[in-house]
Amino acid sequence: MTNPWDDWDHVLKVDPDKDLQPGETFEDVCRTGTDAIEIGGTLDVTAEKMTRVVDAAAEYDVPLYQEPSNPGVVIDSPALDGYLIPTVFNAGGPFWITGAHKEWVRIDDLDWSRTHTEAYIVLNPDAAVAELTDANCDLAADDVGAYAKVAERMFGQEIVYVEYSGTFGDTEKVAAAHDALDDATLFYGGGIHDYESANEMAAHSDVIVVGDLLHDEGVDAVRETVKGAKDAHDA
Ligand SMILES: CC(C)=CCC/C(C)=C/CC/C(C)=C/CC/C(C)=C/COP(=O)(O)OP(=O)(O)O
Ligand SMILES: O=P(O)(O)OC[C@@H](O)CO
Ligand SMILES: [Mg+2]
């Protein structure tokens, strides 16, 4: 089966709780050359803030996906190409693996054709997502590779996401996840801030995710990371 992300090199993650750089618009954001925009963040996200970003980005060509951090922020919008739902494989308890999902399915009427999961392996203990999910980040490269294989082979996950939100990760661990996968797509996110860092991580993954850089530096810096990722995969 083919999925849209099979062809992606770069995803831009827009945090609805954070501002763009002064003078920059969502039109600029959509014209960075990124392959898709994921809208989400761990803290202080609301459905209203989500809606504002989706509406602002709706009229441009780039695919838009919501990445909700809990069922309460999911929005129903025809502008969305789909929903990328995290499940945290190394969470400290079942709530962030299947519990939140069970609640969502219980209270909501899902559009299954647009709903996909991402098997997160959270590795930066200082990130909000690690604290929230009580993730066990004390993992060696072979642990990370094994989690990736479990996600793909035992749980049928089509996306495995090595998450270092806020810091540039250990390439050996990212490579271990990459080597473990046959068909699933490996997303890497965390600390990508320029051409070089994008180029380096793209060599060890299928899709790099760039987040805070957009809010901290702006669209020109993001465009450099798109080049870095594309060059790594074209090489
Ligand atoms: C079942 C539904 C609809 C939702 C649950 C989805 C789950 C399991 C979420 C847990 C993990 C999580 C909170 C993911 C959100 C995406 C993410 C990691 C965003 C990056 O957040 P950070 O960069 O760490 O936080 P801030 O940018 O908010 O500081
Ligand atoms: O904000 P950064 O560090 O780029 O991380 C991107 C993304 O993986 C966060 O979920
Ligand atoms: Mg963030």
What is the CB neighbour count within 10 angstroms for residue 130? Answer: 24
Flag whether 132 is in a domain. no
pLDDT tens-digit series, residues 100-134: 999 999 999 999 999 999 999 999 999 999 999 99
Flag whether 2 is in a domain. no
Flag whether 1 is in a domain. no
Instruction: Flag whether pLDDT at 208 surpasses 80.
Output: yes
The ligand 1 atom at the shortest distance from the C-alpha of residue 95 is: 8
DSSP state at residue 19? P
Instruction: Give residue 76 CA to ligand 3 midpoint distance, Å.
Output: 23
Instruction: Flag whether pLDDT at 188 surpasses 70.
Output: yes
Phi first, then psi: what are they for 122, rounded to 5°?
Answer: -90, 125
Mutate to test the pocket of ligand 2, among 66, 132, 192, 222 (most ligand atoms within 8 A of CB): 192
Tokens at 109, concatenated: 């009427």
**How far is Cα 126 from Cα 130, in angstroms, rounded to an integer?**
7
For strands 185-189 and 82-88, give the pairing.
unpaired
Q: Is the C-beta atom of 163 inside 6 A of ligand 2?
A: yes
Instruction: Name the residue with higher pLDDT: 7 or 235.
Output: 7
Flag whether 97 is in a domain. no
ipTM of model: 0.96
Instruction: Determine the pLDDT at residue 105.
Output: 98
The ligand 1 atom at the shortest distance from the C-alpha of residue 88 is: 8
Range of 109's domain?
Answer: 8-86+102-120+152-165+182-234
**Mean pLDDT of the chain, nearest integer:** 97
Instruction: Determine the pLDDT at residue 203.
Output: 98
Ligand 1 shell residues, CB under 6 Å: 15, 40-43, 67-71, 74, 85-88, 96, 100-101, 104, 127-129, 132-133, 163, 165-166, 211
Tokens at 28, concatenated: 């600029």
Mean pLDDT of 216-235: 97
pLDDT tens-digit series, residues 24-75: 999 999 999 999 999 999 999 999 999 999 999 999 999 999 999 999 999 9
Flag whether 176 is in a domain. no
**How far is Cα 101 from Cα 199, in angstroms, rounded to an integer?**
34
Flag whether 215 is in a domain. yes
Instruction: Flag whether pLDDT at 1 surpasses 70.
Output: no
Flag whether 95 is in a domain. no
Tokens at 81, concatenated: 């190409």
Tally the domains of the chain.
1
Q: Tell me if residue 159 falls in helix, strand or coil.
A: strand
Distances (CA, A) of 7 to 3, 11, 65: 8, 11, 15
Instruction: Determine the pLDDT at residue 41.
Output: 92
Flag whether 26 is in a domain. yes
**Closest ligand to the CA of 85:** 1
Instruction: Flag whether pLDDT at 230 surpasses 90.
Output: yes
Cβ atoms of 223 and 157 within 8 Å: the answer is: no
pTM reported for the whole predicted model? 0.98
Instruction: Flag whether pLDDT at 235 surpasses 90.
Output: no
pLDDT tens-digit series, residues 141-165: 999 999 999 999 999 999 999 999 9
Q: Which one, of 150, 233, 231, 226, lies nearest residue 194 by Cα? A: 226
Tokens at 130, concatenated: 């690690």
Indicate the annotated binding residues.
Answer: 13, 15, 42, 161-166, 191, 211-212
- Burial class from Cβ neighbours inside 10 Å (0-12, 13-18, 19+) for residue 23 reads exposed
CATH number at residue 58: 3.20.20.390
**Residues flanking ion ligand 3, Cβ below 5 Å:** 211
